Structure 1
Amino acid sequence: MTLRTGSDEATHAFQLPRLIRLTPNLYAASFMLMKMIPARYILRQAMANGLLEPATVILETTSGTFGLALAMQGVHLDRRVVLVSDPVIDERLYRRLTDLGAQVERVPAEAGTIVGGFQVARLNRLNELRAAYPSTFCPEQYSNPDNPRSYAVVAELLLECLGQVDCVVGPVGSGGSMCGTVGNLRSVLPDCQAIGVDTHGSVLFGHADAHRELRGMGMSVLPANLDHRIFDSVHWCAPVAAYQATRQLHRRHALFAGPSGGAAYLAARWWAAANPNALTVVMLPDEGYRYQDTVYDDAWLRAAGYLDSPLPAEPVAVTDPRFPQGAWTSYDWQRRSYAEVLGGHQLLSGVG
């Protein structure tokens, strides 16, 4: 198979977002598949450096859209892709991955009881597979600096199209999209604010590791690519708030986003309204097709109790980031390191 590059390759069109004006001072950066940006960049850097030969197997741990981006890239690069995922990976996503030719290994359900949960179990299995194949390349989205580096193209687009950007709001997982986009923006706009959106049960900003229903945000381990000094503030959203905000985004603006984007929209809409003279951009990482039977189904929401309480009008500000307060919490992070914020507290999650 011949490698296709540039605009004749289908995945090229998945990279940059559409910029959509939601209110006079709030724009959405709406992606079809945001994870295509680091996937394409990392794999092409690997090829340029001789790390991705024709017989090399692409290995990665993922339970979401980064795996989809790698599988799509595997088609265009003619490389075998093996993904290690959770037992609860979305079935629609699983079918799409396997139809693209990717091999998907699911760690056993009992792995969720170990320290670090499925993410640690996946990393352990990934290391076993790396030893089993003669030639592998692991993109390592959590630690590869090419992940945040790849988002320079998003910062360039925002500067070219909008000029002044005063605040960027987005969900946080590996740290690549927010740290990369805002880090590059600040080379031109040093005062640009960054609001990271996480979920309860994620260790990224100090919570104890626990079960997380929300997909596309939060982690059970601290990724090396997460630079806490990027963030001015952090918001945590429970599923009830994220799901209702996702539906509100759809009904008000016809934007069909996943719940991580809905959670980011909730925080961004509030910040933009409180700062009418500042231009805010909210990152919407993917579309809502995987959630049609859940978030976009009123019967499912009602049965799960997610329509029993109204969407909060504003977050509850806390002085200790370890403890959530209700469905929507915020904390003034002030561009400090993890140790600077949490060094004086006993870490509930056991991470350093």
Structure 2
Amino acid sequence: MDQHIAESIGRPDLVRLDDRLVCLRFETMKVVSALAAVGHLLDTGVVRRGDTLLDSSSGIYAYALALACHRHGMRCHIVGSTTVDHTLRTQLAVLGATLTQMEPCNDLKLDQKRRVERIHEILAEHPEYHWMRQYHDDIHYLGYRTVADRIREATGADGLTLVGGVGSGASTGALARYLRTAADDPAKGEAHGEAGGEADVELVGVQPYGSVTFGAEHVCDPEIIIAGIGSSIPFGNVSHELYDVLHWVAFDAALAGSVDLLRRHAVFAGLSTGAGYLAARHERERSPERTVLFIAADTGHRYVDTVYARHREVAPMADFAPREVTDQGQLALPWSRMRWNRAPAAPWPAGRPAEVTLTSARASARG
């Protein structure tokens, strides 16, 4: 029996949509990483019960961290995006979290930059706060080990293609890393063909146009509202060398995917899931011998007005096909695909503003 609702919320469903297409459906995905991260910080003495945990969020992580703090008796302070809606604001307030929300802004790139700047202002005022650094600390990988074990048991690992939003790198990166690595139990590893080697798991990352993470900042999608899977600032815990293929998906194509997923399979999920579903179906057609699993990171409730209310005007999914590119200079809306081949990240150009980093001892008064 679960001891807290966060444990239940963080446990995903595995839904087979057809013989080679599987949906890993979360109610709120980042609860998995937040719970494990906070538990690890407590176990290692970095923080104590009653301390304040601080981070920035466009929505999902805010709720996840608030739940993790509620579970472990911590205080929570969120610097929230302008996109945080009334429902989430109310939930955070009742859970006892403090929300500092950015002023309305049409530019989500600027919104993200302003949030990080506000984080540093708060840390200057409260050096005793611990900054969770969801975008930079790979402590957020830890919670996905049990999810990877569940996927391995249900689908096997060899011949698996994993598709999902890149975001901070924690979900897709962690799942791929754990699925590729031989199981801790040698007998289990041999049963799944791992036997001390690396399982055949391809990782397909989904990005919005405008994201700097894989070099698409020069392409603008005027309707982009899926900031959670991309970034206008470099993220420190994205392991570029884990990714085999990338898809950049614009709003219109993601909208078509979201509506088709609900209409065809009755899965009600967020806009980034629609983008992932679109990419997953394409990868399945390209590789008929592989099982394709895509991540549904959250439900579709906060997208009712911006996405699902437009279901009558959406173009059929068949109208969309990816433009195959070999470098980022060829990227074009509404959908592009490129083989990344597990290449490392390109160097961040000199003179270009990089993400500010915390130079104090991990935002903790105890160091």
TM-score interval, smaller chain: 0.7 to 0.9
Q: What are the superposed Cα offsets for residues 263-321 of structure 1, whole Å, 9 maximum, x if unpaired?
A: 001000111122121111111111111112221113xx66xxx6368653421111222
* Amino acid in structure 1 at the alignment position of 2:335: W
Shift of the alpha carbon at 1:323? 4.3
Per the alignment, residue 206 of structure 1 pairs with 215
- Distance change in 2, residues 1:277/1:111 (3 Å): closer
State percent identity of aligned pairs: 29
Secondary structure at the counterpart of residue 228 of structure 2: coil
- Distance change in 2, residues 1:323/1:84 (3 Å): farther
User: Is the 1:168–1:281 Cα contact (8 Å) retained in structure 2?
Assistant: yes
CA–CA distance in 2 between the matches of 1:65 and 1:295?
17
1:141 to 134, 138, 152: 134
Per the alignment, residue 282 of structure 2 pairs with 270
CA–CA distance in 2 between the matches of 1:217 and 1:178?
11
1:233 to 245, 265, 271: 245
Per the alignment, residue 245 of structure 1 pairs with 257
CA–CA distance in 2 between the matches of 1:267 and 1:111?
27
Secondary structure at the counterpart of residue 235 of structure 1: strand
- Computed over aligned residues only, the root mean square deviation of the Cα atoms, in angstroms, reads 2.5
Per the alignment, residue 173 of structure 1 pairs with 167
CA–CA distance in 1 between the matches of 2:299 and 2:252?
19
CA–CA distance in 2 between the matches of 1:87 and 1:31?
24
Secondary structure at the counterpart of residue 216 of structure 1: helix
What is the 5 A alignment of 1:234-313? 234-298=246-310, 307=314, 312-313=319-320
1:320 to 313, 321, 327: 327
Question: Given the alignment of the two structures, is residue 332 of structure 1 paired with residue 326 of structure 2, yes or no?
Answer: no
Per the alignment, residue 188 of structure 2 pairs with none
- Distance change in 2, residues 1:334/1:124 (3 Å): same
User: Is the 1:155–1:185 Cα contact (8 Å) retained in structure 2?
Assistant: yes
User: Is the 1:60–1:126 Cα contact (8 Å) retained in structure 2?
Assistant: yes
Question: Given the alignment of the two structures, is residue 25 of structure 1 paired with residue 37 of structure 2, yes or no?
Answer: no
User: Is the 2:82–2:105 Cα contact (8 Å) retained in structure 1?
Assistant: no
What is the 5 A alignment of 1:186-201? 186-188=180-182, 189-201=198-210
What is the 5 A alignment of 1:80-99? 80-99=75-94
- Distance change in 2, residues 1:294/1:109 (3 Å): closer
Per the alignment, residue 3 of structure 1 pairs with none
Q: Structure 1: which 5+ runs fail to align?
A: 1-5
CA–CA distance in 1 between the matches of 2:354 and 2:343?
17
Question: Given the alignment of the two structures, is residue 222 of structure 1 paired with residue 234 of structure 2, yes or no?
Answer: yes
Per the alignment, residue 62 of structure 2 pairs with 67
CA–CA distance in 2 between the matches of 1:288 and 1:111?
22
CA–CA distance in 1 between the matches of 2:352 and 2:18?
39
CA–CA distance in 2 between the matches of 1:16 and 1:108?
34
1:47 to 42, 64, 69: 42
Q: Which moved more, 1:53-62 or 1:282-291?
A: 53-62
* Amino acid in structure 1 at the alignment position of 2:72: L
Per the alignment, residue 126 of structure 1 pairs with 119
CA–CA distance in 2 between the matches of 1:292 and 1:81?
28
Secondary structure at the counterpart of residue 7 of structure 1: coil
Secondary structure at the counterpart of residue 55 of structure 2: strand
CA–CA distance in 2 between the matches of 1:293 and 1:111?
17
How many residues are matched? 336
CA–CA distance in 2 between the matches of 1:16 and 1:168?
18
Q: What are the superposed Cα offsets for residues 159-218 of structure 1, whole Å, 9 maximum, x if unpaired?
A: 111113521000111010011000111113443111000011111110126563224211
Question: Given the alignment of the two structures, is residue 117 of structure 1 paired with residue 126 of structure 2, yes or no?
Answer: no
* Amino acid in structure 2 at the alignment position of 1:182: A
* Amino acid in structure 2 at the alignment position of 1:227: S
Shift of the alpha carbon at 1:111? 10
CA–CA distance in 2 between the matches of 1:277 and 1:347?
44
Per the alignment, residue 153 of structure 2 pairs with 160
* Amino acid in structure 1 at the alignment position of 2:93: T
Q: Which moved more, 1:83-92 or 1:223-232?
A: 83-92
Shift of the alpha carbon at 1:54? 3.2
Secondary structure at the counterpart of residue 331 of structure 1: strand
Q: Which moved more, 1:212-221 or 1:225-234?
A: 212-221
CA–CA distance in 2 between the matches of 1:57 and 1:264?
34
User: Is the 2:325–2:338 Cα contact (8 Å) retained in structure 1?
Assistant: yes
